Structure 1
Amino acid sequence: MEYMDSGLRYTPKKEPEWEAADQFLPAYDNKKFEKKKGPGKVGAVIGVVIFLAVVALMAGLLVWHFHFRKDLKVKRMYTGSLKITNQVFEDAYENSSTPEFIALAKQVTTQLKNVYTKVPQLKKYYVGSTVQAFSEGSVIAYYLSEFEVPAGQEAAVDSAMTAINQQVNKERSSYNRPGNALVLDDVVSSALDARMLSRSFNQFLKYSEHTRTSYIGKIESPGFPDRPYPANTFIQWQLRADPGYQVQLDFDTMNLEENCKNDFVKIYDSLVAIESRVLEELCGYYSPSEPMTFLSSGNVMLVTMATNEKRNYPGFRAQVSQVKRGSKGTTCGGQLTGKKGSFTSPNFPNYYPPDTLCQWTITVPQGKSVKVTFNTFLLGEPGEEKSKTCRKDYVDIDGEKVCGEKPKRTVTQTSKNNKMTITFYSDKSYVDRGFDAEYEDVDMTDPCPKEFQCKNQRCISSKLKCDGWNDCGDMSDELGCTCKATDISCKNGFCKPPFWKCDGIDDCGDGTDELNCGGCPSGHVTCNNKKCISEKLRCDGIDDCGDGTDERQCNRGSGITCTETTYKCKNGKCISKVNPECDGEKDCDDVSDEAECDCGQSSFKTSRIVGGQDAEEGEFPWQVSLHVKGGHVCGASIIHPKWLVTAAHCVQDDGKTRFSQPETWEAYLGLHKQRQIGSMVQKRTLKRIIPHPYYNHYTFDNDIALMELESPVTFSDYIKPICLPSPQYVFPTGSTVWITGWGATREGGFAASVLQKAQVRTINDDVCNKLMSGQLTSRMLCAGILSGGVDACQGDSGGPLSFPTGSRMFLAGVVSWGDGCARRNKPGIYTTVTKFRGWIEENTGV
């Protein structure tokens, strides 16, 4: 019996349903009852009648509220499991139509009813129960119970159901228990996810799959892959493995609607949807390159799927197999010895199983200390993001608990002797990808030889101390510093890089870096051209600044005066809103601001690998790798099926190679790893190259070029265009942007194998120009890295500087020149795309 229709079997004859509605008193004509010079008998009688009518009405409402209102019932469904310790599992229990299943199920529901009748909060509201399935150990019964609860009493019933195991324990120890009664233990119960009770479902489907050693099963959403999954449907798959084995579930495709409130898949470590046993909830589109493998704690698992009225997504497909308990990948813990080594959570880099406890004892040679460092640490759980107590999944390092998601190599610990104990614990709900760690022996007196030891015991290069960057992760490398003459000396003792001065962001933490920035006095507006005007002149319909700054974001529709800074709709009218294009709101009368917005979005869920620099496949689908003679030379960005944007300096001839000629180049679109040309990659030759006519190879001014492909590319999940900004688009100082590439420059050097990504931050033009000795022009944009580290940003010449806004990314800049975006305190310089928007459109039509 399905969750959604189970209550119908037990629902008694219903009382008339009361619908909640606003009650309105009659609207009387007040003029008829205005006070007259004399009361009069007629007026008095009428007054008495009205008074009695009002009293009767109020009495009626009170009677309704206290008598009938209490009859408003709310349907509450609870799923759960219980262990029957005096029974042995039989194969017939796997089939719900066998006499053995039916007989045992009847006993279970009878005893459940008996338990509920002993609890006052449950007895009067109980409707009935069904057993959904049985599994091994001795016998575990999975049940569904229904209650009709008066409105307002739901919390009390929830609380009683949560504590039902206490009542079962009391029943088990009772002397009055019949001799042939089932002995129940370990009773679990929780309210069913309300989304699974949706009245919109018009189809309920149920499947079963029992995998075996020589058999791999398959489950998939209905219609996959030929057509989208059906709308308004609830589906469940009950998965089993043989005794002594665990269920392994491998998704090779997961493509659902992005919002889990609409369509979702939930996986349970159970055979019914017990919320305290949920392993993961999935929706959206996951890259096939990102593995999603789940293990059960026992030999059963449940997969559920719910869809709403729309059905325009392919769905999912997964393989079901079994893994012998105790085999590699399912176990963890043990004795680790030697000078160095490594260990991981079970099933890493896939999801670890629930209900797991492991302990490692690490021993290194006498006189040494154990130092452990976690390369990856992903133990996140919904609702526990800011937890400091680590009540759920955690790693315990010599008595100190760590949980949540931590950046790469920031979790580290050194022991006080030559031994260390590490414990990994996962509870029965929600799993994550876990960790991989390495250990080594270090000198007790000097655990960081020739390096700086952070307060959190992490070791970093001594050169990184007092450089303005939080390399330790706990700021301990930036405490007690003496700032260089060129640094910003914060009042709180920190030192910060000079190009963070007056960038609009409080980097010091006490506002020091934003003082004396030459802004306008209080009550005035600072125009983009540095002019100061009175706040009263803002949004008065007159361009008082002279550059239109004071008339932006004035909440006026189409029809304002057009300036260089206002967005121009296709119909020629201008609007004051900043960056209106492709933001999901129709600002122009002709809706042209939302036209041609199929750009700047990755199909896949964003990677959760904290601190990693490798991009995921398809994460930046507009990134192009430009090859010459079989090797990567420059990057580029896709803006149209036939057009790329790159840097002009990439296509300048030198003594050996004619880079200006189309036949010299090959463009690889959808590429992720160099020299690995998969099915998602498309290779194209070039038809023509158009460098900007005013490119200056001495100053790198106007460093932009266009490339037309010989044949158009086919867009896919791995190949998509980035959004082009309008000429008026604003990229605020201090904004976080992404730089991507394979790390090579045209002048030589070694390319990174996998596409790299790093976050950088746009920098104030005046500050950057001083830092770069006055070499910036008005067509250049400056950005520096936020996280620091020589290898933090490995960008390519000609590649994109991607600006995220909402769910899209816009092409803010083209990688042009500088001292390399990976070097500290040396920002990268990018060609500002907004300055060339007209030129791009003129040459490409885009």
Structure 2
Amino acid sequence: MRSGKDSIVCHCYCRCPHVILGCSVGASLNGFEEMVEFLPASDTKKVEKMSPKTKLLIAGLVLGALLLSLTVGLLVWHFAYRNVPVQKVYTGYLRVTNYPFINAYENPSSAEFADLSSKVVEMLQKTYQTSPAIGPHFVQCNVTAFSEGSVISYYWSEFSVPTYLEANLDAAMSDLKVQTVTLRQRGALYVDSFVAYSTDPQMARTFRDNKCMFFLHATDGAATKFSSPGFPNAPYPPNSRCQWALRADASHMIVLHFKTFKLESCKASKGDYVNVYDSLTAVEPRIMIKLCGTYPPSYNLTFISSQNVMFVTLVSDDREKHPGFKAEFSQIPRTTLCGGTIRDANGVISSVFFQVPEDKFVKVRFQMFYLYEPGVSITSCPNDYVEINNVRYCGERAPFVVSNNSSKMMVKFRSDQAYVDTGFTAQYLSYEPKNPCPGQFTCKSGRCIDKGRKCDGWNDCGDSSDEVGCVCSDKQFRCKTSQYCKPRFFLCDGVNDCGDGTDEQDCKCPDAFLKCRNGKCVPEAQKCDNTDNCGDGTDESDCGSAKPTDCTAYTYKCQNGQCLNKLNPECDSVADCTDGSDETFCDCGKRPYSRKTRIVGGVNADIGEWPWQVSLQTKKDGHTCGASLVSPTILLCAAHCFQDTSGIRYSDPSVWTAYLGLHDQATRTTSKDVVIRKIKRIAAHKQFNDFTYDNDISVLELESPVTYTDFIQPICIPESTHVFPVGKSIWVTGWGAVTEGGVGAAVLQKAEIRIINQTECNKLLDGQLTSRMICAGYVSGGIDACQGDSGGPLSSVEANGKVYLAGVVSWGEGCARRNKPGIYTKVTEMRDWIKQNAGL
């Protein structure tokens, strides 16, 4: 060290043939070095007889060196790490009570805005200086906006604080109180409701940058539109922070609606996001919602402010490029209407401007219930909740009923100032105490269900009261723990339907044996030995990394002829084939609008949720069949849709028109998302049997190709070896009749069903199934495809995120009947025919 300070240097020496340690200590004084060297003794015995003085001197020097090293280390840690200043930005608001609000305060460029903001800034500076934990670290502050009440001032303040004092600063800012401050200018500023919160670091990084700041005021009777920068022609910029301050007239509230929303996936660790605040600054307690990812246009992204202001922020990182959002807002009169008394026999209530029922014996049926808040317990429901009979309900809940053995029921809805969800809608009904469900079964919860659904093995009531005390039929079995009856086809399907494993416990093979998908048991030693011992490929399909194996009907075959033992290797982002052919045709099965709705079974699909769904129509019948887009020019459909009748030649391509990207039949000619194509060629399977419906498949060629959009995408065609296991959840979609013999749906419907064991299903349908058919649905009925759904897709969402065409809607006995599940053409069995006739 040559800093002019004292230093101690310790050297160790090694000399042969004796290994003896020596140490030299030097002190640098005013540029001169003075060395005291302790050399090794020539006689080891003399070393042993070293004087006590010498020993003490050596010990003192070593101890001094250690203390000096420790001191230097502490100083380095303090100045280089502990004392490093960090930037802290706080945003907040305060109320100035001795100033009335004037319109000029809305304009940051006005003289009035500048005058009042300078007074607020001076008040903040003086207040900060009164606190020893705040004042020394203050850098600057600024007022960003004003709103009514008397005048609410929104601001940010910047501090530079050592790391070890950061927590002290947070605590001091939290405890800070501001009341009256005398200004340099004449007069004083009276202040209350002082709020300050630490800013998200992603937002704080560019908090001074106002290049992407917008001030908008609602127009009475019209919607004001705004969007992210560049939308829709270019993605919003990276590493940016954009802000929109929205205002309405006095005594009004703001209704904000996002019409299009496409940001980076929410899975990103930091990522891009939009925050909406019930305020004019980004303070956490006033956040209404945080949005990221992609939402379909049909998803409800509507938010209502509590006052006449709202704040929208967009924060982006440096990754990926996305279109952004398009939004609009309008103003509505502020209202205090929330609750009331209803004396009608029935009606509808909701979480926005709802009234409360009171008549006879009352029950409320919640049809939609979304009062979810991140990290909040749904058992205590401390924030947003509905309260009935002193019980709170919150979170995301399936439809449920709350009844009351009284002519009065008090329904309370409460929400706090932060985070909002979709809300709820409900029906209120009056009922006779002696007969609450005329002609139906009364659940313990008060819900009414069809009597035919009692003891069918399904929890239709929601509280299982319809399945208590049942006698199982010959088509059912009893679970061990729950004592409920379940359909026999649930046995040994690989799904724990009982919850206690009863339905799967007797399906195992003996020890040291493997159970095949076809039920056969083979020795574990035969697993992954490159031989199909099961006969269905089970023992060779789960062997870790893909390995070449002998080609069988159950092994995946690459384009170069190589066969693999891996189950469903196509499009899993791993090139298993040496020629990479398992990953070459994977631009399919993508849904730009992934499913975000949280209810299933016979409900409206979201716009763009099933972008391969096609509506096939004729001039005479309108919508007649569904179909699936599999390439820019090819559709897959059922063969039975094109059987001629005495009235029309359905086999004639000119009869048909295909509507792609369609959601609502009422908008098929007006929606800009819909593409219309005539049919050039129809190729139905030559072995189609119009009596048994075997080989029920056809290929249609469009007159001209379609361009893929967010609403038009192809579905993946699985290879012949692709496995869709029994019990797997799967989706059927279409515009078919919603009831047997009824009329078709206007809006595309979706229903989640399950693949049923082929053997058990064949028993239910009197042996009518062939190997080219797949059975799916519910034995209890209630959810099924119906007339008008024919030819449409049976879509399977796979682990790789892609959606595959598992089946084509073919036939069934009626619609949604008990013990009569739907039958679909099995696409894996038709793979070779599809290759030959569609070129895919």
Residue deviations 1:395-419 (CA, integer Å, cap 9, x gap): 22233221122224x2x22223222
**Number of the residue aligned with 1:187:** 194
Q: Secondary structure at the match of 2:449?
A: strand
Question: Structure 1 residue 395 and structure 2 residue 402: aligned?
Answer: no
Gap regions ≥5 residues in structure 1: 1-31, 348-357
Residue deviations 1:279-335 (CA, integer Å, cap 9, x gap): 223334434444533222111111111233356433323233322213xxx843222
Of the three residues 685, 690, 709, the one matched with 1:692 is 685
Question: Structure 1 residue 432 and structure 2 residue 421: aligned?
Answer: yes
What pairs up with 1:655-734 in 2 under 5 angstroms? Answer: 655-677=646-668, 678-679=670-671, 680-734=673-727
Question: Structure 1 residue 334 and structure 2 residue 340: aligned?
Answer: yes
Counterpart of 1:783, as a letter, is A
Question: Structure 1 residue 462 and structure 2 residue 451: aligned?
Answer: yes
- Compared CA separation, residues 573 and 76, structure 1 to 2 (3 A): farther
- Compared CA separation, residues 74 and 794, structure 1 to 2 (3 A): farther
The question of whether the paired residues in 2 share the 8 Å contact of 1:555 and 1:576 is answered with: no
Counterpart of 1:733, as a letter, is V
Counterpart of 1:257, as a letter, is E
Question: Structure 1 residue 823 and structure 2 residue 817: aligned?
Answer: yes
Counterpart of 1:634, as a letter, is C
Counterpart of 2:554, as a letter, is T
The question of whether the paired residues in 1 share the 8 Å contact of 2:238 and 2:318 is answered with: yes
- Compared CA separation, residues 71 and 777, structure 1 to 2 (3 A): same
Counterpart of 1:292, as a letter, is L
Of the three residues 787, 790, 793, the one matched with 1:797 is 790
**Cα distance in 1, alignment partners of residues 202 and 79 from structure 2:** 31
How far does residue 726 in structure 1 lie from its aligned partner after superposition? 1.7
Residue deviations 1:627-657 (CA, integer Å, cap 9, x gap): 3423332221111121111122223334544
**Number of the residue aligned with 1:833:** 827
**Number of the residue aligned with 1:476:** 465
**Number of the residue aligned with 2:358:** 363
**Number of the residue aligned with 2:147:** 135
Of the three residues 294, 307, 331, the one matched with 1:298 is 307
**Cα distance in 1, alignment partners of residues 784 and 373 from structure 2:** 28
**Cα distance in 2, alignment partners of residues 153 and 569 from structure 1:** 63
The question of whether the paired residues in 1 share the 8 Å contact of 2:13 and 2:21 is answered with: no
- Compared CA separation, residues 121 and 773, structure 1 to 2 (3 A): farther
**Number of the residue aligned with 1:309:** 318
**Cα distance in 2, alignment partners of residues 831 and 33 from structure 1:** 88
The question of whether the paired residues in 2 share the 8 Å contact of 1:200 and 1:308 is answered with: no
**Cα distance in 2, alignment partners of residues 249 and 673 from structure 1:** 24
Residue deviations 1:123-145 (CA, integer Å, cap 9, x gap): 55443322211111011111112
Q: Secondary structure at the match of 2:124?
A: helix
The question of whether the paired residues in 1 share the 8 Å contact of 2:366 and 2:425 is answered with: yes
Q: Secondary structure at the match of 2:410?
A: strand
User: Relative to structure 2, which stretch is displaced further, 557-566 or 433-442?
Assistant: 557-566
**Cα distance in 1, alignment partners of residues 778 and 15 from structure 2:** 79
Counterpart of 1:824, as a letter, is R
How far does residue 468 in structure 1 lie from its aligned partner after superposition? 0.8
**Cα distance in 2, alignment partners of residues 732 and 71 from structure 1:** 61
What pairs up with 1:63-462 in 2 under 5 angstroms? Answer: 63-116=75-128, 122-151=134-163, 154=166, 157-164=169-176, 167-168=177-178, 180-198=187-205, 204-213=211-220, 216-259=223-266, 261-290=270-299, 292-309=301-318, 312-326=321-335, 331-346=337-352, 360-364=355-359, 368-384=360-376, 387-408=378-399, 410=400, 412-462=401-451
**Number of the residue aligned with 1:549:** 538
**Cα distance in 1, alignment partners of residues 421 and 522 from structure 2:** 54
**Cα distance in 2, alignment partners of residues 431 and 70 from structure 1:** 40
User: Relative to structure 2, which stretch is displaced further, 468-477 or 44-53?
Assistant: 44-53
The question of whether the paired residues in 2 share the 8 Å contact of 1:405 and 1:610 is answered with: no
Tell me how many residue pairs correspond in the alignment. Answer: 788
Counterpart of 2:344, as a letter, is G
The question of whether the paired residues in 1 share the 8 Å contact of 2:378 and 2:393 is answered with: no
- Compared CA separation, residues 469 and 514, structure 1 to 2 (3 A): same
**Number of the residue aligned with 1:493:** 483
The question of whether the paired residues in 1 share the 8 Å contact of 2:540 and 2:566 is answered with: no
**Cα distance in 1, alignment partners of residues 435 and 174 from structure 2:** 52
**Cα distance in 1, alignment partners of residues 653 and 419 from structure 2:** 53
**Number of the residue aligned with 2:510:** 521
Q: Secondary structure at the match of 1:309?
A: coil
The question of whether the paired residues in 2 share the 8 Å contact of 1:331 and 1:346 is answered with: no
**Cα distance in 1, alignment partners of residues 341 and 535 from structure 2:** 74
Counterpart of 2:215, as a letter, is S
- Compared CA separation, residues 627 and 211, structure 1 to 2 (3 A): closer
- Compared CA separation, residues 361 and 718, structure 1 to 2 (3 A): closer
TM-score, normalised by the number of residues in structure 1: 0.85
Residue deviations 1:416-441 (CA, integer Å, cap 9, x gap): 32222222222112222222222222
Residue deviations 1:728-766 (CA, integer Å, cap 9, x gap): 211122111001112259997532222211101112233
- Compared CA separation, residues 59 and 726, structure 1 to 2 (3 A): farther
How far does residue 675 in structure 1 lie from its aligned partner after superposition? 4.6
Q: Secondary structure at the match of 1:463?
A: helix
Of the three residues 769, 777, 782, the one matched with 1:784 is 777
- Compared CA separation, residues 43 and 57, structure 1 to 2 (3 A): closer
User: Relative to structure 2, which stretch is displaced further, 422-431 or 609-618?
Assistant: 609-618
Counterpart of 1:417, as a letter, is S
**Cα distance in 2, alignment partners of residues 588 and 34 from structure 1:** 63
How far does residue 801 in structure 1 lie from its aligned partner after superposition? 0.7
- Compared CA separation, residues 549 and 513, structure 1 to 2 (3 A): closer
**Cα distance in 2, alignment partners of residues 573 and 46 from structure 1:** 78
**Number of the residue aligned with 1:19:** none
Counterpart of 1:614, as a letter, is N
The question of whether the paired residues in 2 share the 8 Å contact of 1:201 and 1:232 is answered with: no
Gap regions ≥5 residues in structure 2: 1-11, 25-37, 41-57
Counterpart of 1:509, as a letter, is G
**Cα distance in 2, alignment partners of residues 833 and 35 from structure 1:** 85
The question of whether the paired residues in 1 share the 8 Å contact of 2:14 and 2:21 is answered with: no
What pairs up with 1:751-766 in 2 under 5 angstroms? Answer: 751-766=744-759
**Number of the residue aligned with 2:605:** 615
The question of whether the paired residues in 2 share the 8 Å contact of 1:642 and 1:708 is answered with: yes
**Number of the residue aligned with 1:12:** none
User: Relative to structure 2, which stretch is displaced further, 741-750 or 126-135?
Assistant: 741-750
The question of whether the paired residues in 2 share the 8 Å contact of 1:229 and 1:311 is answered with: no
The question of whether the paired residues in 1 share the 8 Å contact of 2:349 and 2:356 is answered with: no
The question of whether the paired residues in 1 share the 8 Å contact of 2:738 and 2:786 is answered with: no
The question of whether the paired residues in 2 share the 8 Å contact of 1:332 and 1:345 is answered with: no
- Compared CA separation, residues 212 and 573, structure 1 to 2 (3 A): same
- Compared CA separation, residues 487 and 547, structure 1 to 2 (3 A): closer
**Cα distance in 1, alignment partners of residues 837 and 214 from structure 2:** 57
**Number of the residue aligned with 2:640:** 649
**Number of the residue aligned with 1:40:** 20
How far does residue 389 in structure 1 lie from its aligned partner after superposition? 1.4
**Cα distance in 1, alignment partners of residues 444 and 330 from structure 2:** 46
Of the three residues 486, 509, 518, the one matched with 2:499 is 509
Counterpart of 1:658, as a letter, is R
The question of whether the paired residues in 2 share the 8 Å contact of 1:702 and 1:779 is answered with: yes
**Cα distance in 2, alignment partners of residues 205 and 650 from structure 1:** 55
The question of whether the paired residues in 1 share the 8 Å contact of 2:83 and 2:164 is answered with: no
**Cα distance in 1, alignment partners of residues 223 and 738 from structure 2:** 48
User: Relative to structure 2, which stretch is displaced further, 755-764 or 285-294?
Assistant: 285-294
**Cα distance in 2, alignment partners of residues 636 and 745 from structure 1:** 18
- Compared CA separation, residues 203 and 523, structure 1 to 2 (3 A): farther
- Compared CA separation, residues 713 and 109, structure 1 to 2 (3 A): same
- Compared CA separation, residues 832 and 55, structure 1 to 2 (3 A): farther
Q: Secondary structure at the match of 1:134?
A: strand
- Compared CA separation, residues 266 and 35, structure 1 to 2 (3 A): farther
